[in-house]
Amino acid sequence: MSSELRQRRPYVEPESESVEEEEEGEKGEKGEAGGGGGARKSAGPGWVGAFFFLMIARYYSASYNIIHDCDEVFNYWEPLHYLLYKSGFQTWEYSSEFALRSYLYLLLHAAIGGPSFWFYGAGFSKVQVFFTLRLALGFLSAVTEATLVAVVTRRYGARMGMYTLGILCISSGCFNASTSLLPSSFSMYAITLAAALVLSGRRQHRATVAVAAFGVLIGWPFAAMAAAPLVVYSLATGGFLQVFCSGLITTICTMVLSVLTDRFFYGRWTSSVLNLVFYNVFSEEGSTLYGVEGPLFYFKNAFNNFNFAFPFALLCPLVLLLSSKRKYCKLVLAVSPIFVWLAFMSLQPHKEERFLYPVYPLICLAAASTLDNLHNIFPKWWKSHDILSFFTEAVKKIRPLILGVILALSYSRTLSLWYGYYAPMQVYHHLPVINDTSPSTTTTTVSTICVGNEWYQYPSSFFLSSSNYQVGWLQDGFEGALPLPFVQAEGGTRSAPKYFNNKNKASPHQYVADEGICDFLVELELDRPGHIYRSQDKETWEVIYAQRYLDKERSPAKYRAFFLPWAWEKSNQFGTYRLLKRIRKASVHSH
């Protein structure tokens, strides 16, 4: 459809939501997006097509995504391992005294992992359970994102739908967040679906608020700030009383289930949701004990994960405003959680990459919207000027090139993370298989794997091939609190080590008292002058497996951030991640 025809038949969004609004949303800009005349329905990614491509991307994420944060392991994978296998590491947040973590969140994932867990011991290993659970998370992510893409295609045209789909599939940020076992990822699924419901134009206000409430209370309560614009809009336009009751019922039901679950596992009446809020808001030190970052932390981090898509996302409201099309008002609303959340989180002293996860898919949508409407930043009268209209047409033509650069850099970022930091998830695959019992005795042989300063890269007990492996922490200079094995107790985790504390203070009980019990050793050797590594003792340790590992401190940021084959190998420095076995043992340990 030509620009003149579009000017004669402008899109007009009705004042109230109705069937007429839905029909207009489906039309969008059919001619330009679909490449045909006004009577032809625009082609683009429907839900099934979008889900197909997103599921492929999420499959690769489930298979190759690294674990980006030790909190994911020790606060979620390890307690989940305890629920399934009755062993795992416990952190102070899971002690009954503090009760900061929700077991309801874990139980939902334990239910997902149930079918694969049932096959454990019949050729289905624990690590396969791990990846099955990851794949289930990827499935949930793909479902919510496909819903968003389908709605965007229907309302705003095939091109914006394709741009959104492409960035969602390839962006390093969504690759990382989609299959992470984190409450922030769970909130991301809910906020993505809530945004899609707002955009759908089908009076889904009650569902929007219910989904947002469920995602926030099961996932991360602080994500309520990100969902706030969508909830406020639904309350204001969908009939306040009905929408409010929908959110209230969801909140009450979810909180009751959460409190009952906490009562069972913590042995007292408490609410992990409220405890988490009070700890972070009202405690004297709170999360700042674990580090603080400057106000630009999230901007730098988001650029790493989305490259040029992130500044495009930040420009989205301005570009859509300049387009002077009322149909984009709701689109601005849908992406507004990005700005609310970014402002709120940037003001907090303690910052971590995963805290921005709830708005990752909306960043993709905002970037796609900017790219699709980039030519609209020029005044409309330019179109009637022979010379100036050239710039408008040129911008239209280079949009695929810009998208290609964004996708190429995103893929490069993902490759850099995988090539540089995947070693911790591979070394444990090379542990020898230990039988549950010795052939000549009824006693169980236990082997101890010792880990030093690399404790925070431990990929979880799902990677231990046998229940007869135990992990111990070596004293290598770390003075903070470390997780310890769950205390077996009726009713879950009512018992916990007495020296757990919320001040991040170490206890001598958290370290291996005698290094002589270490049967295996996991160690990262870096080029640090004067530092002595245990692996250098060739008479005591032999190497079972070794893989290189990117030395972040000695590698320039511009080369390590993105995988550029001609520069990445040459310009970066690497250490060696090793799995070692003791050559000579003083005694055989058993129980």
92 compared with 586, residue with greater pLDDT? 92
- Taking only the tens place, the pLDDT of each residue in 244-286 is 999 999 999 999 999 999 999 998 999 999 999 999 887 766 6
* Percentage with pLDDT > 70 across the chain: 83
Quick one: tokens of 313?
Answer: 């996302």
Residue 8 in this model has a pLDDT that exceeds 60? no
pLDDT of residue 386: 64
Q: Is the pLDDT of residue 517 over 50?
A: yes
Q: Is the pLDDT of residue 416 over 90?
A: yes
Amino acid 374: pLDDT: 86
Q: How far apart (Å, rounded) are the C-alpha atoms in residues 201 and 26?
A: 10
551 found inside a domain: yes
Residue 59 has pLDDT above 70, yes or no: yes
Where does the pLDDT of residue 383 fall: very low under 50, low under 70, confident under 90, or very high at 90 and above? low
Q: Is the pLDDT of residue 586 over 80?
A: no
Contact 145, 46 (CB under 8 A): no
Distance between CA atoms of 67 and 49, rounded to whole angstroms?
29
Q: How far is CA 436 from CA 129, 427, 450, in A?
A: 19, 21, 20
Is residue 207 a part of any domain in this protein? no
Number of domains in the chain: 2
Domain annotation covers residue 265 = no
Q: Is residue 312, in this structure, part of any structural domain at all?
A: no
Range of the domain at 547: 423-474+514-591
379 pLDDT above the threshold of 80: no
What pLDDT is attached to residue 12?
A: 37
- The stretch 295-316 carries a mean pLDDT of 95
Assigned domain for 335 exists: no
pTM above 0.85, yes or no: yes
Q: What is the pLDDT of residue 307?
A: 95
Whether 308 maps to a domain, the answer reads no
Is 38's pLDDT higher than 60? no
pLDDT for residue 27: 45
pLDDT > 50? residue 7 = no
Structure confidence by residue, pLDDT tens digits, 200-218: 987 899 999 999 999 999 9
pLDDT at 442: 44
DSSP sequence for 284-315? SSGGGGG----TTHHHHHHHHHHTTHHHHHHT
Percentage of the chain exceeding pLDDT 90? 61
Averaged pLDDT for residues 488-511? 72
Say which DSSP state 540 is in: T
Following DSSP, what letter does each residue of 96-132 receive, concatenated? TTT--S-HHHHHHHHHHHHHHHHTBTTTB-HHHHHHH
pLDDT greater than 80 at residue 229 = yes
The predicted structure's pLDDT at residue 504: 83
Residue 530 lies in a domain: yes
Highest mean pLDDT among 41-55, 74-88, 386-400: 74-88
In this predicted structure, the answer to whether residue 426 has a pLDDT above a threshold of 80 is yes
Q: For all residues of the chain together, what is the average pLDDT? A: 85
